[in-house]
Amino acid sequence: MSSEIPHWNAFQFVIICVYTCFLSFVQSPSGGLSVVAVYISLLVLAVPAVFVQLKLGGYLQTSMLSMFTKFFPIWKGCPVCLSVCLSVCLSVCLSVCLSVWEEDYLWGKCDKVQHMARKDEMCSLSKPDRFVTLDLIARRPEELFYLREFLQMSDSIEDMGGFPHWRFNELAHKAEMSLMPVTLAIVWVLVALVVGFGARLCGWVLFLLGPAAVGCLLTVLGYGFHHLDTEQAVIYLKNLYVFKDSDDEHILTIWTKNFKFLTYTFPLWSAICCTMGKLCGRSRKLRNL
């Protein structure tokens, strides 16, 4: 099969952005079949499993531990293990993955970051200048961008390797304030409300955050489409999503590998799904949202 892929239309690009970005390129797909395997497993297995857990938690008003204790007493140790595993994943695994994974982030493929004595920033593969401090050399591009944006020293990621150059809108610049501390403050206000008024309020928070998350996703995608450099984007996509024959791996191995990846990234059977259903209550609309 040809190593080149056809031009991506808008629908294909949205699908790629939603899930097959593979967790900010922690793991890149090996070919078109891996993308198909993830999507079919997601629609046929993952979504129904999560929906069943949400529904059981909502109707029975109980968590996974109480549910197993009631229906499967001999297996009640399973949800305890899942709860411990979830806590460990949330507290440890994210920082570990970000530290040890080899795949590059979307906005940085350079080993060294060189800051010039002017407003612009340059990411270079060449030997760093001897006047560049070791502190700047040791930092990753995304860390430097976060710090400089938080301190209002930069408004964009200049070198994206051909993908959309995300820039903050003019309204945010006119406000003369950084968006990051504002969003952090909003998150902590929500946490304080949940702690102060009890778990039931968490259902209403989820009711508001669900549409808000979808709205943010559509906003970012719309913004990206508007500022998308088609030629550079196609070149970038060809490097990652090449539809090719997998001679090295058997088709069953590819499906198994990507299903395992799906189970690790999507909370198929974790302690959080039943608890979310419990906090959302018995309302069908709220649970579906």
Burial of 87: CB neighbours in 10 Å, binned 0-12, 13-18, 19+: exposed
**Res 126: pLDDT:** 42
Spatial CA neighbour of 87 closest among 275, 257, 281, 277? 275
Q: pLDDT digits over 140-162, tens only?
A: 555 555 555 555 554 554 444 44
Instruction: Write the CB contacts of 249 (distance below 8 Å, at least 6 apart in sequence).
Output: 30, 257
Specify whether the CB–CB gap between 30 and 253 falls below 8 A.
Answer: no
Instruction: Tell me what percent of the residues of the chain surpass a pLDDT of 70.
Output: 36
Query: What pLDDT band is residue 77 in, cutting at 50, 70 and 90?
Result: confident
Q: In 3-state terms, what secondary structure has residue 79?
A: helix
**Res 240: pLDDT:** 56
| 82 pLDDT more than 80 | no
Spatial CA neighbour of 20 closest among 2, 3, 35? 35
Instruction: Share the mean pLDDT of the chain.
Output: 63
**Res 261: pLDDT:** 74
| Other beta carbons within 10 Å of 141 | 21
| Other beta carbons within 10 Å of 59 | 13
Residue 193 CA to chain centroid, in angstroms? 25
CA distance 179 to 168: 9
Q: In 3-state terms, what secondary structure has residue 169?
A: coil
Instruction: Tell me what percent of the residues of the chain surpass a pLDDT of 90.
Output: 0
Specify whether the CB–CB gap between 140 and 111 falls below 8 A.
Answer: no
As given in the structure block, the two tokens for residue 37 are 């395997």
Spatial CA neighbour of 163 closest among 71, 93, 229? 229
Query: What pLDDT band is residue 131 in, cutting at 50, 70 and 90?
Result: very low
CA distance 44 to 266: 13
| 45 pLDDT more than 50 | yes
Instruction: Write the CB contacts of 244 (distance below 8 Å, at least 6 apart in sequence).
Output: 1, 3, 31, 32
Spatial CA neighbour of 225 closest among 7, 3, 10? 10
| Other beta carbons within 10 Å of 234 | 15
What is the pTM for the complete model shown?
A: 0.41
CA distance 12 to 6: 11
Q: What would the mean pLDDT of 71-92 be, rounded to a whole number?
A: 71
H runs (alpha helix) in 61-109: 64-71, 77-88, 94-100
The most confident of 20-24, 57-61, 233-237, by mean pLDDT: 57-61
CA distance 277 to 203: 8
Q: What would the mean pLDDT of 83-110 be, rounded to a whole number?
A: 55
Q: What would the mean pLDDT of 84-97 be, rounded to a whole number?
A: 62
CA distance 289 to 287: 5
As given in the structure block, the two tokens for residue 247 are 């001679």
Q: pLDDT digits over 159-187, tens only?
A: 444 444 445 555 555 666 666 667 777 77
Distances in whole angstroms, Cα of residue 23 to Cα of each of 10, 17, 38, 96, 278:
21, 10, 13, 14, 28
* Gyration radius of the chain over CA positions: 22
Q: pLDDT digits over 249-288, tens only?
A: 677 887 888 777 777 666 666 667 777 777 776 766 666 6
Question: Which one is predicted more confidently, 225 or 69?
Answer: 69
